[in-house]
Amino acid sequence: MSGMTVDSTPFEDIRHLVKTMPGPRIDARDAVKEQLSSYVADLSPFGHYGEALTWLAGWQGRADPSIDRPLVTVFAGSQGVAKTVIGSDVTEGAQARVAALTKGGASVRGMASTHGAAFKVYEMGIEYPSADMTVEPSLSERDCAAAIAFGMEVVAEGADLIVLGNAGFGSATAAAAIAHGIFGGNAAYWAGGNTDSAGARIEAVKTATYLHREHLSDPLHILRCFGGRDIAGMVGALIAARHQSIPVLLDGYVVCAAAAILHKISDDALAHCYAGHLSAEPAHGALLDRLGLKPLMEAGIGVGDGTGATLAMGSLMAAANGLRTSGG
């Protein structure tokens, strides 16, 4: 990626990268559209997957899109606000989630293997939780920019599709604050739910939003004030994927909150992204609506570690194979 400016701040460089993102291959996209138009509408074997196949073709630059080298990646971090909301040790909680993904019985790892996908977990400084956003900004501008840069660096150029998931501890609270900071409305709308900690989460979002109210006009400062290193890392991964023309399937609420940062900078910033699924996480559907994203599937999955988007990837992979068969 190029375009870094001399004597600019890290955030200015990031904004420049977002605003200079390349577009899809129109010829490949149109070729798939033409192939799909040959079906009688009510008899199409692809249904709403036709739109996803057209999207995939445009970003892969292929009239015969396929998913042969997928990457399922999960960003994990620790948010200081989790101590206020949940009351448990933040570092231990984050370490337990990473252990479940790397050594335990997390289903997403097995699903990735089924589809021949590489599976990577990125620990974003879980031993050093971000600051409690109800007291001070979660990250300094320097730390936030460094986490974004790390996310840019780890995106594998060889992948032809990326599934993006999150397993941060306290990240749902951070995501709710980001959504509230960007889109406004009632804190309970973004932070509510049926968990025992829902009330504490709502209060934390209210407190943090008021504390950082002077920064709500700038999406990168919203990220700095409310998001942890894992969320900032996902922002970087999304930027790098776009500059490498790699399509991305977004997973749950936290991932989509990271995507919302880029959407706020530029309406076109998420053109290379598709919502893998509509999760059971509170306010995920509302966030997708704000981002203008339609989910590939709805399965009632309540975790955001990439599970739902990996399942959706499998069905999209099958649809792509079917498209090539019908075109041959």
Band (145; pLDDT cuts 50, 70, 90): very high
pLDDT at 42: 67
Band (40; pLDDT cuts 50, 70, 90): confident
As assigned by CATH, the class of the 68-313 domain is: alpha beta
Asked if 231 and 168 count as a contact pair (C-beta separation under 8 A), the reply is yes
pLDDT at 188: 95
Band (327; pLDDT cuts 50, 70, 90): low
175: pLDDT strictly greater than 90: yes
Beta-carbon contacts of residue 144 (< 8 Å; ≥ 6 apart)? 220, 223, 224, 227, 232
* Whole-structure pTM value: 0.95
Band (1; pLDDT cuts 50, 70, 90): low
Helix (H) or strand (E) holding 204: helix 198-211
Residue found by looking up tokens 């620790």 in the block: 78
What is the 3-state secondary structure of 256-287?
Answer: HHHHHHHHHHCCCCCCCEEEEEECCCCCHHHH
196: pLDDT strictly greater than 90: no
pLDDT at 11: 95
pLDDT at 38: 87
6: pLDDT strictly greater than 50: no
Q: What would the pLDDT profile of 250-282 be if each residue is shown by its tens digit?
A: 999 999 999 999 999 999 999 999 999 999 988
Residue 108: Cβ within 10 Å count:
26
7: pLDDT strictly greater than 60: no
